Amino acid sequence: MKTKKRVLSFSGVDPLKLFGAADTHLSIVDRHYPGSVVVRGDDIILNGTGDQIDRLTAFFREIIDIARGGRALSEQDFNYILTRGNGGGGAEASPVAEFNGLDRDVVVSTRRGATITPRTPGQKRYLDAIRGYDVVFGIGPAGTGKTYLAVAAAVAALRVGAIERVFLVRPVVEAGESLGFLPGDFQAKLDPYVRPVVDALGEMLGHDRTGKLMENGTIEIAPLAYMRGRTLNDAYVILDEAQNTTEMQMKMFLTRLGRNAKAVVNGDITQIDLDPPSRSGLLAAQRILKDVDGIAFVHLTQDDVVRHRLVQRIINAFDAHERQEGGEEPQR
- Cis previous bond, 141, omega within 30: no
What does the alpha-carbon distance between residue 309 and residue 1 come to, in Å, rounded to a whole number? 37
State the Cα angle at 304 between 99 and 281, rounded to 5°: 135
Asked if residue 332 belongs to a domain, the reply is no
CATH of the domain at 78: 3.30.1370.10
- Domain finish residue from 60, 75, 100: 100
What does the alpha-carbon distance between residue 170 and residue 285 come to, in Å, rounded to a whole number? 16
The neighbouring-strand residues paired with 109 are 115
Going from the C-alpha of 151 to that of each of 68, 71, 79, 156, 203, the distances in angstroms are 31, 25, 27, 9, 11
**Same domain for 131 and 275?**
yes
What does the alpha-carbon distance between residue 141 and residue 227 come to, in Å, rounded to a whole number? 26
Does residue 171 sit in helix, strand or coil? coil
pLDDT of residue 138: 98
**Same domain for 87 and 27?**
yes
**Same domain for 128 and 154?**
yes
Would you write out the chain's pLDDT as a tens digit for each of its 332 residues? 678 899 999 999 998 888 888 788 888 888 877 778 899 999 999 988 888 888 888 889 988 988 888 788 888 788 778 776 444 444 455 667 777 778 778 899 888 888 999 988 899 999 999 999 999 999 999 889 999 999 999 999 999 999 999 999 998 764 444 555 445 555 665 666 677 888 899 999 999 999 999 999 999 998 898 899 999 999 999 999 999 999 999 999 999 999 999 999 999 999 998 888 888 999 999 999 999 999 999 999 888 887 666 766 777 788 778 777 765 545 54
What does the alpha-carbon distance between residue 219 and residue 221 come to, in Å, rounded to a whole number? 7
Q: How many CB atoms lie within 10 A of CB 131?
A: 13
Asked if residue 149 lies in contact with residue 107, where contact means CB atoms within 8 angstroms, the answer is: yes
| Amino acid letter for position 277 | P
Query: How many distinct structural domains can be found in the chain?
Result: 2
- pLDDT, tens digit (0-9, with 9 covering 90-100), for 144-189: 999 999 999 999 999 999 999 999 999 876 444 455 544 555 566 5
**Same domain for 120 and 264?**
yes
Asked if residue 117 belongs to a domain, the reply is yes
Residue 46 burial class via C-beta count within 10 angstroms: exposed 0-12, middle 13-18, buried 19 and up: buried
pLDDT of residue 63: 87
What does the alpha-carbon distance between residue 203 and residue 226 come to, in Å, rounded to a whole number? 26
Relative to beta strand 235-239, strand 43-48 is unpaired
**Same domain for 230 and 137?**
yes
Asked if residue 331 belongs to a domain, the reply is no
**Same domain for 171 and 251?**
yes
**Same domain for 86 and 22?**
yes
What does the alpha-carbon distance between residue 43 and residue 107 come to, in Å, rounded to a whole number? 37
- Domain finish residue from 49, 68, 100: 100
What does the alpha-carbon distance between residue 320 and residue 208 come to, in Å, rounded to a whole number? 44
Say how many residues make up the chain.
332
**Same domain for 89 and 114?**
no
pLDDT of residue 87: 42
pLDDT of residue 176: 43
**Same domain for 168 and 148?**
yes
Asked if residue 228 belongs to a domain, the reply is yes
The residue segments making up the domain with residue 127 are 108-326
CATH of the domain at 238: 3.40.50.300
- Domain finish residue from 66, 100, 134: 100
**Same domain for 167 and 282?**
yes
pTM for this model (two decimals): 0.78
**Same domain for 30 and 120?**
no
**Same domain for 227 and 210?**
yes
